[in-house]
A and B are shown apart, each in its own frame.
Chain A
């Protein structure tokens, strides 16, 4: 059959050609990692009290030598913010990629299918009705648990509706949109009955911001990501096989239903911790996987880590833009990701269309 690729026409073993192909993908992964390092360093340097690169490195290596003010800015504000952008972006990027694969839908993401809003609803309930008090636990732990309960419930609803009605790619998205509207109405209802303090907290939260980052929260989100990533990596071959079609994957012995369930559990956990500590940050879970797909294809050994890296780069970059756009003003990250995410997504779609 005719087909054009010099890697296959050289007469060399295909495995040799494939190794060169893999090397190209590794270079892309390294480029994404380098971009993440760069945005993170600049993120730490940028702010009302600017640091030079030398000051940042000195401060990281010799924190005791820093002046108390500089220490607080670097270690209590900038670093938790920057690291939170990485872990939340990575969680949302990975969650979006896995969701797009198991639901076979390039428009699937924790936001578009309502998982993020369900997590917001769960967290809002915990805040407004002060559910941490009767449980005798700190809010830092109770809010994510309720966010997770909301997220998992919405993922289960999507899965159930998809299975019961044999939903196609399009109807899954329609279910998701319907769910988003219903959840937004419920969130607004909670805002309506909330007292002024809780209302302010929820409204600020729906804008999505990294400003509430602390080392403890970074550690929780990081731990969830560190637990989910190896579990995802263990299923890369099954997910890659699934991209060929559900019947194909089933015929290879992939337990597709179980795969979907475990993936949606992971997606719910990652979305829940991200939303619980930063609020609604949209488009990262949608655009991150699309960038990774363009650069790395859909072999999930590269696609999943690439989506996590792309998500982290986007959120890190958005955080940087949010504090550099208007001097002295910190624009919530959820607003920035939406503002840069929409044109970026459209540009990706148009470029894909042009490339045929």
Chain B
């Protein structure tokens, strides 16, 4: 059972605060939290800070234990972070990349258990055909899937995924979200996922944390957190949340001015 609580966290760089006073109530086990907000608002900075790759002030408690009080290695075993940047183009094959991620975090694990864990993650993400392909011969989307496999193979309590679907087509976006859901259901971990597709987030996340103007604007179940007012405040757009015939919510936006000038004039 994993729980995460964030109390008045400030993230940023020396002399340049990015997000201030971010507090999230205790997130229940098995939850998928969508982290949304406009470009540059600080979604990545927040996830990096929680992963231990950047500084923050305030308190983040993982199962009651302060994240900042953990050693770097112990935190890496509990928190799995997928950076926004894709894995580098190297001549490592996908199997080696996933294996090295597992070995770096769990050096004491028996070889047979590591083999089984690697095998499982390739099947789970349906990327078996990529196993012996070099990363420098892959498309961006394929590398992003390998990066995700590197996180999942470690079975962290908390997954911090920074735009894990940015290079993926619709089919693979759904595979990623379904897989993350399945893992959360099995292990009762947690996932904070930065996303830009607000409809994807509303559809798949249990909670939405929406940021704007350097602070948390709203947090809660999608239907509560995503409102016309909040969308206007965060993105400066006119939008509303509607429900389709199957009862699923989606955001309809209305451009304030035409993107392209009318043709034929």
Contact = CB atoms under 8 A, between A and B. Distances in A.
Interface of A: 1-5, 7-9, 13-15, 17-18, 21, 104, 237-238, 240-241, 243-245, 247-255, 293, 297-299, 356
Contact of B119 (A15, A238, A248): A15
B103 to A, nearest CB: 5
Contact of A243 (B92, B142, B154): B92
Secondary structure type dominating chain B contacts? helix
A250 B73 CA distance: 9
Contact of B80 (A8, A104, A251): A251
Given A1-B142, A15-B119, A248-B147, A241 B132 contact: no
A248 to B, nearest CB: 6
Contacts of A3: 127, 129-131, 133, 138, 142
A251 B119 contact: no
Given A3-B142, A18-B95, A298-B91, A244 B72 contact: no
Nearest to A239: B100
B105 A252 contact: yes
Given A237-B103, A249-B104, A4 B92 contact: no
Contacts of B154: 252
A249 B53 CA distance: 10
Interface residues on B, range: 35 or more
A325 B138 CA distance: 45
B150 A248 contact: yes
Contacts of B127: 1, 3
B104 A237 contact: yes
A14 B76 contact: no
B176 to A, nearest CB: 12
B207 interface: no
Interface stretch (B81-89, B185-193, B243-251): B81-89
Contact of B75 (A18, A241, A253): A253
Given A247-B81, A248-B147, 4 more contacts: A7-B131, A7-B132, A245-B85, A248-B83
B141 interface: yes
B81 A21 contact: no
Contacts of A299: 92, 96, 100
Contacts of B101: 241, 244, 248, 252
Contacts of A13: 115, 119
B75 A244 contact: no
Interface of B: 48, 51-53, 72-77, 79-83, 85, 87-88, 90-93, 95-97, 99-101, 103-105, 107, 115, 118-119, 122, 126-135, 137-138, 141-142, 145, 147, 150-151, 154, 172
B118 A14 contact: yes
Contact of A245 (B88, B118, B119, B137): B88
A250 B135 CA distance: 19
Contacts of A8: 128-133
Nearest to B107: A237
Contacts of A240: 92, 96, 100
Contact of B90 (A9, A243, A253): A243
Contacts of A255: 72
B134 A297 contact: yes
B73 to A, nearest CB: 4
A21 B95 CA distance: 10
A15 to B, nearest CB: 4
Contact of A250 (B53, B82, B132): B53
A80 B129 CA distance: 50
Contacts of B107: 237
A253 B72 contact: yes
A334 B96 CA distance: 36
A238 B92 contact: no
Contacts of B119: 13-15
Given A237-B104, A255-B72, A299-B100, A245 B129 contact: no
Given A245-B85, A253-B73, A1 B93 contact: no
Contacts of B130: 1, 3, 8
B141 to A, nearest CB: 7
A26 B46 CA distance: 44
A241 B100 contact: yes
Nearest to B142: A1
A254 B142 contact: no
Contacts of B104: 237-238, 241, 249, 252-254
B76 A251 contact: yes
A15 B95 CA distance: 9
Nearest to A16: B115
A328 to B, nearest CB: 44
Given A243-B92, A293-B91, A253 B80 contact: no
A251 B84 CA distance: 12
